[in-house]
Structure 1
Amino acid sequence: MQFDFTRLPPADRYRLLTNFIGPRPIALVTTRSPGGHANAAPMSFFNVFSHAPPLVIIGVSARPNGSEKDTIANIRRTREFCVNMVDMALSEQMILCGVNFADDVDELDFAGLPADLCDQINADRIATTPCAMECRIERIIDYPGRAIVIGEVVEMHVRDDCLDGHGRYVDPGVYQPIARLHADNYITSDRQFELRKPAHLAPHEVGTTPLPAGSV
């Protein structure tokens, strides 16, 4: 079957894209409301974008009635947000945070999620998340009914048990994030395996040796 995306209705494009592009990591994004409450919302249009500078990207859609969600309204006002990664222990609370409450509802409190203050931004982070990333806005790209937010990570909080004994790499036996597939279907990374490029092909790779100084 073939689908012409230039003619396809938005709902059908969404269905196809989210059915086949997955699993998608989940960012449980926390922001500060105008009244000082903690807003939390799960975002499955999310990923890391760059490490130099350290950038993450989230896509925030409008509500069904076209109004702007609290998360993007708070981000526009404060220019900052926190990404909390989600594992199985946080999955049920994450779903509760997906309800479109009024902005005076503290969603972390409603979901029973313990909160700590972020260090460099005015937002709460989830105390039990495997990893929280404090972000400041690099830019916001607006489309009709959607905003793409690029944030620069200014601080990362990692739960101690998620790292190996040297504190360098993730322990895959502990950090098993969940991701969204399609509709209400999710997946967990409890079955991990390694794939390495064949070592004998290394001499054939181009662009791996730094260019001499002044050559660019």
Structure 2
Amino acid sequence: MEIDIGQIGRQEKYKLLIGSVVPRPIAWVSSISRDEVVNVAPFSYFNVACIDPMMVSVAVARKPGSVPKDTSRNIQETGQFVINMVDVHNVEAVNQSSADYPPEISEAEAIGLTLIPSKAVKVPRIGESRIHFECKLHQVVTLGEPAASDLIIGEVVYVHIDDELYFDGKIDVDKYAPVSRMAGHSYAKIGEMFDRPRPVYEKKE
């Protein structure tokens, strides 16, 4: 199978990407509007961007007509957000928060989520999550002409990890039980894991 990307439509491109780039970690992003409305939404175009300074990236697709989503608008206006990580214990609430709520309605309030004050940013954390990254906006890169997506790069300034998940400087993945995004309506748990030590190149004499 060979595909000329210029010959297929947006929906076909979407299915190709989300079906091939799997599993994808999920950022459950909390942000706050100028009117103090707490917005909560999940995004699976999410990953590590840099180690030092510690940065993460989240791509937020725009609505039809190049209209920014509430999350992107809030982050650009306030310069702050929190990434709350997703696991088997909160995935149902995460899915509920993906509904297209109007800007004046707080998903956190509508769903009944627990909001906890952050340490370094004004945006609250979600109590139903056990790992939180408090972030300050570093850069937004608008992708597409007309604009189709906002690639948000945030600097992590404070981290919260549930004590039972953290041991000897590492996160216990089994206890963490993260959930990732697949294609369609599917999610995935961590399955079988295996190690492959990174090889060392030895120059031949």
Instruction: Report the TM-score when normalising by structure 2.
Output: 0.91
The residue that corresponds to 2:86 in the other structure is: 86
The residue that corresponds to 1:97 in the other structure is: 97
The residue that corresponds to 2:155 in the other structure is: 152
2:202 corresponds to which of 175, 188, 204: 204
The residue that corresponds to 2:166 in the other structure is: 163
Where does 1:1-216 land on structure 2 (aligned, <5 Å)?
1-64=1-64, 66-143=66-143, 144-164=147-167, 166=168, 168-189=169-190, 191-197=191-197, 201-202=199-200, 204=202
Query: Does the CA-based 8 Å contact 1:172-1:192 persist in structure 2?
Result: no
Deviates more, 1:78-87 or 1:62-71: 62-71
Q: Tell me by how many angstroms 1:145 deviates.
A: 1.8
Q: Tell me by how many angstroms 1:202 deviates.
A: 3.4
Q: Tell me by how many angstroms 1:130 deviates.
A: 2.0
The residue that corresponds to 1:214 in the other structure is: none
Q: Tell me by how many angstroms 1:79 deviates.
A: 1.0
Instruction: Provide the rounded CA distance (Å) in 1 between the counterparts of 2:118 and 2:154.
Output: 15
Runs of 4+ in structure 1 off by over 4 angstroms are none
Q: Tell me by how many angstroms 1:66 deviates.
A: 4.0
Query: Does the CA-based 8 Å contact 1:29-1:42 persist in structure 2?
Result: yes
Q: Tell me by how many angstroms 1:19 deviates.
A: 0.2
Q: What 5-or-longer segments of structure 2 have no aligned partner? A: none
Q: What 5-or-longer segments of structure 1 have no aligned partner? A: 206-216
The residue that corresponds to 1:211 in the other structure is: none
Asked which structure has the greater CA Rg, the reply is 1
1:173 maps to amino acid: D
Instruction: Provide the rounded CA distance (Å) in 2 between the counterparts of 1:55 and 1:192.
Output: 28
Instruction: Report the TM-score when normalising by structure 1.
Output: 0.87
Q: Tell me by how many angstroms 1:33 deviates.
A: 1.6
State the superposition RMSD in angstroms: 1.6
Q: Tell me by how many angstroms 1:171 deviates.
A: 1.3
Instruction: Provide the rounded CA distance (Å) in 1 between the counterparts of 2:125 and 2:152.
Output: 19
